[in-house]
Structure 1
Amino acid sequence: MDSEFLGAIKSQTIPMRSFDTIACFTNIPYVFFYENTHAAPDFMPTDLLKKSLYKTLADFPFLLADITTDNCGRGYLTVNADSLNLPDLQCSTSQITYGELKAQKFAWSAWPKNTVTAEFLAERDAHGRLKMVHINIVRLADNSGLILFANVHHYAIDAKGSFEFLNQWARNCAQMQVIMESLPEVRRQGSLTTRGIFRERSILATLLAHIPMDKYVSSAISALGDGTTQGHIFRIMRTTLDTLRADLQEFVPEGTRISDNDMIVALVSKTIGQSQNEACKRSWLGAAGAKLASVLGWTTDQPVELAVDTRRHLGIQGYVGGALIIQHFVNPLKEVYAPTTLEGLAKIVVRSRNTVDNIDAGVVRDYVDITEENPQYMFRLTAHSTMHGKLASFSNHSRRGRVRR
């Protein structure tokens, strides 16, 4: 079936932008649940799912590539027509019904075993290859529904692009040039904090830039631990956000727009900072280290990192590929550690809003030009994130769209 659609793919080497490197060791995994509401006997047939997958991949040849690098640390997606990096495609059945999953509110513990075939951190398969795409089709009992696990490697594409791929709204690989064609001639300075990180020399960044990309991925996974990740889910009601927005208006300049994202950035930044502060207090070593850092003037700020989708700034809403830039601002640790008040939250909200409002096509141009000057600049972002334990990083997936069938 794959040869029907993939036979015409030619070998090619696609140069990646330097700022894509920051995501080269992560995946974008999603799990979707579909109910056979009308008891259709041929509900989402496996053959059709496979056929449509390969047809879509024919328009996304870079998702059939391997990651390679040159001696300068610049990354490439290399498509070998004689040895395509085909997706890890698995199909299985389960004795669990859709109704049982729904009754458990789709809790992870209720999922069929082996539903997830790729973790957040990218790992090599049994043959030593990093797959760009993982698909697992799990057919539920009694033809009651289907679980679709879909993962795309973050180096080749971002969350918006992954949804475009999954929805088969794909363009072809030539669209990867759209960003450069859409940039204005005049550049404008973006976040001073981000620029400072780019210009700051780093031995770690220099070392990372000279590690082959596949080794860099393995090193990143090792540095982050055993390859597992943990997180928390917070549910914030719409009425709560609306009430908080109204309460914050008293403490921000008149006319300031307060978005949901701004408030979430403020709330989570405070939560992270205060939890880290409490952890230091409970450890004599942590307390001593914090005191020494204070005396020496180290880590007096909490850097906040925002991943910004630039499609609307460049007018390329249909673009598939990486269109994220990173912009930073900083919160003084004294503010973050202090008890949460409306006034304290408002200060972070204003910083977040000013950072986002400052972004336009000229800022994107500036970001691209700086990162293209030297691949090491993006590694400086990675090194900064690695070395700075107080960093708070944010990415919004709420506008990425829905997968349709």
Structure 2
Amino acid sequence: MDKLLLGIQPQTIELCVLDTLLSFSNIPFFFFYGNDGNDSSFMPSELLHDSFIVALLDFPILVGHLEIDGSGRARVVVDNNNLNIPEYRESQCDMHFRDLQALKFSWDVLPAGVAATGSVTTADTDGVIKLANIHVVRLQDSSGLVLFISTTHAIFDGIGYCKFVNRWAEIAKWM
């Protein structure tokens, strides 16, 4: 675990009835970045990961556990002794950015496995629901990357989702 996250304060965030209903769906989006300058150090892995971890400090709900009690009320419990670290992975593919661009970034032609989650929230093999899933896919010849970011809808609406993504980008810019 990243030592930086040890500073997250424990808290419980009660969710409303609508949030509980939305806890079974995800907000999955793809972001496409072209490397126009053929820079071999384009969007470095370490920078992306480290800035993501720093962004989590501003959005501690993403490291909480979604719990639903016997009466159907949902909450997110952030326990700094048991953080629910989002899934974050990186992979390579043999598709070039210009090919994705020529096909208008259609979901039908995205590299296999780029979507780390579907539209329905499910638990992982340990029975834990990750509240965020990130997949960085580096494209052929360092031509660009696809960034897949999915969060459970229970914790973010569209505005919250965009605030998180923008905060991550802002942190990466200044690191």
TM-score (norm. length: structure 2): 0.90
How many residues align? The count is: 171
Which residue in the other structure is 1:114 paired with?
Answer: 113
Taking the aligned partners of 2:6 and 2:104, their CA distance within structure 1 comes to: 43
Which residue in the other structure is 1:128 paired with?
Answer: 127
Taking the aligned partners of 1:120 and 1:44, their CA distance within structure 2 comes to: 27
- Give yes or no for the alignment of 1:138 onto 2:137: yes
- The CA deviation at 1:44 is 0.7
Report 1:79-118 matches (<5 A).
Answer: 79-118=78-117
| Structure holding more helix per residue | 1
Taking the aligned partners of 2:105 and 2:11, their CA distance within structure 1 comes to: 42
- Please give the secondary structure, in 1, of the residue aligned with 2:7: coil
Which residue in the other structure is 2:148 paired with?
Answer: 149
- The CA deviation at 1:58 is 1.0
- Please give the secondary structure, in 2, of the residue aligned with 1:115: coil
Report 1:343-362 matches (<5 A).
Answer: none
- The CA deviation at 1:33 is 0.7
Structure 2: 5+ residue stretches without partners: none
Taking the aligned partners of 2:93 and 2:164, their CA distance within structure 1 comes to: 27
- The CA deviation at 1:70 is 3.4
- Please give the secondary structure, in 1, of the residue aligned with 2:94: coil
| Structure holding more strand per residue | 2
Report 1:1-400 matches (<5 A).
Answer: 2-3=2-3, 5-168=4-167
- The CA deviation at 1:80 is 1.9
- Please give the secondary structure, in 1, of the residue aligned with 2:145: strand
- Please give the secondary structure, in 2, of the residue aligned with 1:68: strand
Return structure 1 stretches of 4+ with deviation > 6 angstroms: none
- The CA deviation at 1:165 is 0.2
Q: Which amino acid in structure 2 is aligned with residue 101 of structure 1? A: L
Structure 1: 5+ residue stretches without partners: 170-403
* Residues 206-233 of structure 1 deviation map (CA, whole Å, 9 limit, x = unaligned): xxxxxxxxxxxxxxxxxxxxxxxxxxxx
- The CA deviation at 1:110 is 2.1
- The CA deviation at 1:38 is 1.7
**Percent of aligned pairs sharing the same letter:** 36
Taking the aligned partners of 1:131 and 1:149, their CA distance within structure 2 comes to: 14
- The CA deviation at 1:67 is 1.3
Taking the aligned partners of 1:98 and 1:156, their CA distance within structure 2 comes to: 32
Taking the aligned partners of 1:100 and 1:73, their CA distance within structure 2 comes to: 47
- The CA deviation at 1:48 is 0.5
* Residues 183-239 of structure 1 deviation map (CA, whole Å, 9 limit, x = unaligned): xxxxxxxxxxxxxxxxxxxxxxxxxxxxxxxxxxxxxxxxxxxxxxxxxxxxxxxxx
Q: Which amino acid in structure 1 is aligned with residue 21 of structure 2? A: I
Which residue in the other structure is 1:247 paired with?
Answer: none
User: Which structure has the larger Rg over C-alpha atoms?
Assistant: 1
* Residues 348-397 of structure 1 deviation map (CA, whole Å, 9 limit, x = unaligned): xxxxxxxxxxxxxxxxxxxxxxxxxxxxxxxxxxxxxxxxxxxxxxxxxx
Taking the aligned partners of 2:25 and 2:107, their CA distance within structure 1 comes to: 21
Taking the aligned partners of 1:23 and 1:70, their CA distance within structure 2 comes to: 16
Higher relative contact order (Cα pairs below 8 Å, separated by 6+ residues) = 2
Q: Which amino acid in structure 2 is aligned with residue 99 of structure 1? A: R
Taking the aligned partners of 2:31 and 2:44, their CA distance within structure 1 comes to: 16
Q: Which amino acid in structure 2 is aligned with residue 49 of structure 1? A: L
Taking the aligned partners of 1:149 and 1:71, their CA distance within structure 2 comes to: 34
- The CA deviation at 1:19 is 2.8
Q: Which amino acid in structure 1 is aligned with residue 17 of structure 2? A: S
- The CA deviation at 1:108 is 2.5
- The CA deviation at 1:49 is 0.5
- The CA deviation at 1:105 is 2.0
Taking the aligned partners of 2:67 and 2:160, their CA distance within structure 1 comes to: 21
Go from structure 1 to structure 2 and tell me whether the alpha carbon gap of 1:109 and 1:75 turns closer, same or farther (over 3 Å shift).
closer
* Residues 123-170 of structure 1 deviation map (CA, whole Å, 9 limit, x = unaligned): 11111111100000001111100100000111111111101101107x
